[in-house]
Amino acid sequence: MACVFCRIVAGEIPAEVVAREPEVVAFLDTHP
């Protein structure tokens, strides 16, 4: 099983992505 961050980047888990670049993905915390 992949880590939660890997699954978000792969699109398997929904997330509020605020920036996406070839080397970086930035998303908001799901449980602030």
The segments of the chain whose pLDDT lies below 70 read: 1
Q: For position 30, what pLDDT does the model report?
A: 79
Q: For position 2, what pLDDT does the model report?
A: 87
For residue 1, the SS3 value is coil
How many domains would you assign to the chain?
1
Q: For position 31, what pLDDT does the model report?
A: 80
Kind and range of the H or E run holding 7: helix 4-9
Give the count of alpha carbons within 13 A of 10, CB side only: 9
> Domain residues for 21?
1-32
